[in-house]
């Protein structure tokens, strides 16, 4: 099964890079938690706001993966270059509103009921991250290009180098030293901004000089945005970005509501949410590799092989993610101890670990099915499924459980646990619907090549 081998190979490389990137958040969480409990609470809120904005915008930019994969499979190298250039315009356009929103987060902060000292630290943190938003989206263009042509190794090398710089820079800025005062959570934001700037600079240099990019003529033919290309990117990107935004906000808005249960509950949630984000990198990496392979096979006219590759990616992700979930559940006491010294925060986090373990099955299924569907040019219907399930059942149902709306909710589902249970149920529904949809779409594409997309 050559497609499965290619998926596994590329996914392993992507995973290393994704873990390096998510290591930014892990480093921020651990260091901020050890600096002060109020910084950990502020990070939970600030990260929820930033991730919601960034993931939605980057989901649009990631439409470059299936578009580039299709052109690469069809041996249309010049079209690969044009798609990349048009995505750069799109990234810059999306970066501006993201910057403005994070420079003025008071409307969102008002929903949290966060104490004034926590809210002030959130503003400091987001104030620096705001300027890093356009830079992060530009680097996402470079990342998506490499993933779409199944050349993720260079991206991974840059991401590992970025993490190597982030750790000492974080420690210096958060805790102070060498004449610099301790900046706490503000130091996390400054460090991330500096790293994002370095990544864009090095990525642009690679695109200019590395021979693997020469067939695409990336630096020639620059002109204004072309609607024909933008339309293709937006057709996939807007629903995908909406799906990411809905899924992530349903998850991260939990932090804004959980803040009402106090700093300890919020700190425990932040630990579990951060760990869940790390674990998500495994199925996401497989999904990215799967989407690229399916797109390339479709571009080459091998529709039946593309269909099989999608199923192989889903199966690989589910199998490995279930094993990972069981391992993390078994290691929960040690993992919680790494994140916090506060026994109350540890207990709050440990009570939520059962949800992380169950998450893996549904998360792996839904993200791989979603990427495979986008490779078949189907994105709008999955986005609608995410809206109904994640915001309705997940966030709305979780709220009803957590705050005991109606007075009949079992005590075990009060507080943060209620939000996690609601989100888990919603994710299970999404995974079932998207799997059935992929089955139908892929089968129709094999029966009538060219009927999808």
Residue-wise DSSP of 167-215:
HHHHHHHHH-BTTBPP-THHHHHHHHHHHHHHHHHHHHHHHHH-GGGGG
* Interval 201-211 mean pLDDT: 94
pLDDT tens-digit readout, 155-200: 999 999 999 999 999 889 888 877 787 787 888 889 999 999 999 9
- Sequence-distant (6+) residues with CB within 8 A of 68 are 80, 83, 84, 144, 145, 148, 149, 295
**Rounded Cα distance, 137 and 54, in Å:** 8
Phi/psi of residue 63, nearest 5 degrees: -60, -20
For the cut 60, the answer to whether the pLDDT of residue 19 exceeds it is yes
For the cut 70, the answer to whether the pLDDT of residue 117 exceeds it is yes
Q: What is the per-residue pLDDT for 428?
A: 92
201: confidence class by pLDDT, cuts 50, 70, 90: very high
**Rounded Cα distance, 409 and 421, in Å:** 12
More confident residue, 39 or 308: 308
pLDDT tens-digit readout, 299-323: 988 999 999 999 999 999 999 998 9
Percent of the chain with pLDDT over 90: 48
Q: Could you tell me the two tokens for 303?
A: 């529709």
**Rounded Cα distance, 147 and 84, in Å:** 12
What does pLDDT average to over the chain? 88
For the cut 60, the answer to whether the pLDDT of residue 451 exceeds it is no
Count of Cβ atoms closer than 10 Å to residue 333 Cβ: 10
Q: What is the per-residue pLDDT for 53?
A: 87
416: confidence class by pLDDT, cuts 50, 70, 90: confident
pLDDT tens-digit readout, 380-399: 999 999 899 988 888 899 99
Q: Could you tell me the two tokens for 154?
A: 């260079």
When mean pLDDT is compared across 77-81, 247-251, 401-405, 407-411, the lowest value belongs to 247-251
**Rounded Cα distance, 336 and 348, in Å:** 10
When mean pLDDT is compared across 97-101, 287-291, 316-320, 365-369, the lowest value belongs to 97-101
Q: What is the per-residue pLDDT for 78?
A: 92
Count of Cβ atoms closer than 10 Å to residue 365 Cβ: 24
Q: What is the per-residue pLDDT for 1?
A: 56
For the cut 70, the answer to whether the pLDDT of residue 452 exceeds it is no
pLDDT tens-digit readout, 255-290: 778 878 887 887 788 788 878 878 888 999 999 999
When mean pLDDT is compared across 196-200, 245-249, 338-342, 426-430, the lowest value belongs to 338-342
Q: In this structure, are residues 398 and 413 in contact, taking their beta carbons and an 8 Å threshold?
A: no
**Rounded Cα distance, 395 and 423, in Å:** 7
Q: In this structure, are residues 16 and 281 in contact, taking their beta carbons and an 8 Å threshold?
A: no
For the cut 70, the answer to whether the pLDDT of residue 330 exceeds it is yes
450: confidence class by pLDDT, cuts 50, 70, 90: low
Count of Cβ atoms closer than 10 Å to residue 123 Cβ: 17
149: confidence class by pLDDT, cuts 50, 70, 90: very high
């Amino acid at each position: 099964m050559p497609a499965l081998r290619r998926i596994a190979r590329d996914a392993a490389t992507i995973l290393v890079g994704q873990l390096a990137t998510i290591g930014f958040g892990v480093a921020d969480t651990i260091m901020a938690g050890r600096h002060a409990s109020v910084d950990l609470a502020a990070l939970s809120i600030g990260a929820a706001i930033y991730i919601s904005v960034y993931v939605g915008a980057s989901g649009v930019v990631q439409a470059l993966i299936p578009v580039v994969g299709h052109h690469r499979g069809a041996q249309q190298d010049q079209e690969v270059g044009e798609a990349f250039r048009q995505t750069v315009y799109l990234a810059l356009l999306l970066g501006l509103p993201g910057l403005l929103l994070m420079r003025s987060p008071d409307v969102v902060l008002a929903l949290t009921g966060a104490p004034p000292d926590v809210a002030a630290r959130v503003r400091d943190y987001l104030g620096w991250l705001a300027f890093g938003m356009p830079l992060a989206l530009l680097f996402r263009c470079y990342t998506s290009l490499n993933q779409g042509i199944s050349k993720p190794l260079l991206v991974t090398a840059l991401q590992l180098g970025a993490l190597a710089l982030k750790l000492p820079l974080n420690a210096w800025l958060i805790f102070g030293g060498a004449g610099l005062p301790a900046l706490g959570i503000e130091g996390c934001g400054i460090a991330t901004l500096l790293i994002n700037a370095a990544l864009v600079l090095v990525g642009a240099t690679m695109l200019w000089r590395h021979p693997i990019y020469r067939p695409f003529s990336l630096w020639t033919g620059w002109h204004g945005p072309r609607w024909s290309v933008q339309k293709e990117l937006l057709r996939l990107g807007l629903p995908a970005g909406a799906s990411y935004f809905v899924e992530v906000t349903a998850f991260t808005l939990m932090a804004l509501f959980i803040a009402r249960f106090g700093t300890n509950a919020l700190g425990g949630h932040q630990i579990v949410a951060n760990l869940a984000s790390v674990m998500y990198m495994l199925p996401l990496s497989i999904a990215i590799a799967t989407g690229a392979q399916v797109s390339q096979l479709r571009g080459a006219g091998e529709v039946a092989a593309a269909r099989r590759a999608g199923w192989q990616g889903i199966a690989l992700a589910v199998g490995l993610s279930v094993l990972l979930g069981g391992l993390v559940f078994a290691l929960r006491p040690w993992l919680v101890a790494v994140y916090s010294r506060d026994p109350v925060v540890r207990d709050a986090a440990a009570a939520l670990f059962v949800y992380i373990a169950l998450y893996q099955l549904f998360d792996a299924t839904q993200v791989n099915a979603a990427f495979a569907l986008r490779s078949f040019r189907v994105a709008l219907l999955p986005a609608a499924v995410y809206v109904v399930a994640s915001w309705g059942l997940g966030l709305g149902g979780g709220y009803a459980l957590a705050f005991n709306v109606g007075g009949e909710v079992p005590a075990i589902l009060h507080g943060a646990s209620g939000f996690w249970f609601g989100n888990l149920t919603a994710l299970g529904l999404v995974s079932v619907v998207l799997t059935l949809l992929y089955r139908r779409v892929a089968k129709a594409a094999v029966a009538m090549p060219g009927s999808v997309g």
